[in-house]
């Protein structure tokens, strides 16, 4: 048996140790970087490393979005960033936001990418193709698999609110995840802060399953409504993500210090409603 803590164990420990439910999203856009980083070959890594080191005291997880790295041919910088988080901030889980969705041998390769190449603690996946598109990720012992359920974008309702068996599809996904798919005990669900009523319903269906909740900050989700809808009886159970509102809170060379203040303020605002 491996002595390495599982994703759920690591996340639970981070919630307790940091007194924070804040997940800092890492969506680097070089055009928004301060002048000191302009044209530097490792600018994406350097920017994200500074953000991570400054905000780590106020966060319980980090969530790099893979497209923001791959679009700039910066996958090697993503590898270095995740290695840095593990080395400098052990116990803070890294969720690779990739939203992969495929079957069979292709899903196996995506799982290897997330867990062996990038060494992420968890990965986001799309359940549209059913359980056999999720199962290969579960073969990686202790790794988290976070399933899209009720997403924060308006267009999510196009499919997620379609009725099947007399209830919306997102509720079916939540129940499948909680009752049939969670063989590893490491599943979570994505539910957007822009839909607090649906957060409450998903919490009722899934019990204490962790919820990754994007949509506060730049997307306008209400923190109080989110916390009251999604918290567990223990006052945890959520990874409330904020990306742009923290990353780009400052425009100058003091961007990391300003991001730290934004992260602290967001954490404290979340805690005020627990």
234: in domain? yes
91 occurs within a structural domain: yes
**Residue 67: predicted pLDDT:** 98
Is residue 145 assigned to a domain?
Answer: no
Total domain count, the chain: 1
Q: What is the pLDDT of residues 145-156, one digit of tens each?
A: 999 999 988 899
* Residue 139 forms part of a structural domain: no
Say what the pTM is. Answer: 0.96
Distance CA 271, CA 223 (A): 10
**10 Å Cβ neighbour count for 132?**
11
Domain presence at residue 136? no
Instruction: Return the active site residues.
Output: 99
Which CATH number covers residue 171?
3.20.20.70
Range of the domain at 257: 7-95+153-271
Q: Is residue 117 part of a domain?
A: no
Instruction: Measure the CA–CA gap between 139 and 107, rounded to whole angstroms.
Output: 11
Residue 190 lies in a domain: yes
Return the DSSP state at 216.
B
Tokens of 64: 């790099």
The answer to whether residue 59 is domain-embedded is yes
The per-residue pLDDT string of the chain (274 residues; one tens digit each, 9 = 90 and over) reads 457 899 999 999 999 999 999 999 999 999 999 999 988 999 999 999 999 999 999 999 999 999 999 999 999 999 999 999 999 999 999 999 999 999 989 999 999 999 999 999 999 999 999 999 999 999 999 999 999 999 988 899 999 999 999 999 999 999 999 999 999 999 999 999 988 999 999 999 999 999 999 988 666 789 999 999 999 999 999 999 999 999 999 999 999 999 999 999 999 999 999 9
């Amino acid at each position: 048996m491996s002595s390495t803590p599982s994703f759920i164990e690591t996340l639970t420990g981070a919630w307790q140790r940091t007194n924070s439910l804040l997940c800092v999203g890492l969506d680097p856009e070089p055009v928004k970087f301060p002048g000191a980083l302009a044209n530097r070959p490792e600018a994406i890594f350097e920017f994200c490393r500074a953000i991570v080191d400054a905000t780590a005291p106020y966060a319980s997880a980090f969530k790099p979005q893979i497209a923001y790295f791959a679009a700039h041919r910066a996958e090697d910088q993503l590898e270095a960033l995740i290695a840095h988080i593990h080395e400098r901030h052990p116990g803070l889980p890294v969720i690779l936001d990739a939203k992969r969705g495929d079957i069979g041998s292709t899903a196996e390769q995506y799982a290897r990418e997330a867990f062996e190449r990038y060494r992420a603690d968890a990965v986001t996946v799309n359940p549209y193709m059913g359980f056999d598109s999720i199962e290969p990720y579960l073969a990686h012992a202790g790794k988290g698999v976070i399933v899209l359920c009720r997403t924060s974008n308006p267009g999510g309702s196009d499919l997620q609110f379609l009725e099947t068996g007399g209830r919306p599809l997102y509720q079916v996904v939540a129940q499948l995840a909680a009752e049939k798919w969670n063989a590893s005990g490491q599943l979570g669900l994505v539910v957007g802060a822009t839909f607090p009523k649906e957060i409450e319903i998903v919490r009722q269906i899934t019990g204490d399953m962790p919820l990754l909740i994007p949509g506060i900050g730049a997307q306008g989700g209400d923190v109080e409504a989110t916390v009251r809808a999604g918290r567990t009886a223990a006052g945890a159970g959520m990874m409330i993500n904020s990306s742009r509102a923290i990353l780009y809170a400052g425009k100058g060379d003091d961007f990391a210090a300003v991001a730290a203040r934004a992260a602290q303020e967001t954490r404290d605002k979340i805690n005020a409603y627990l």
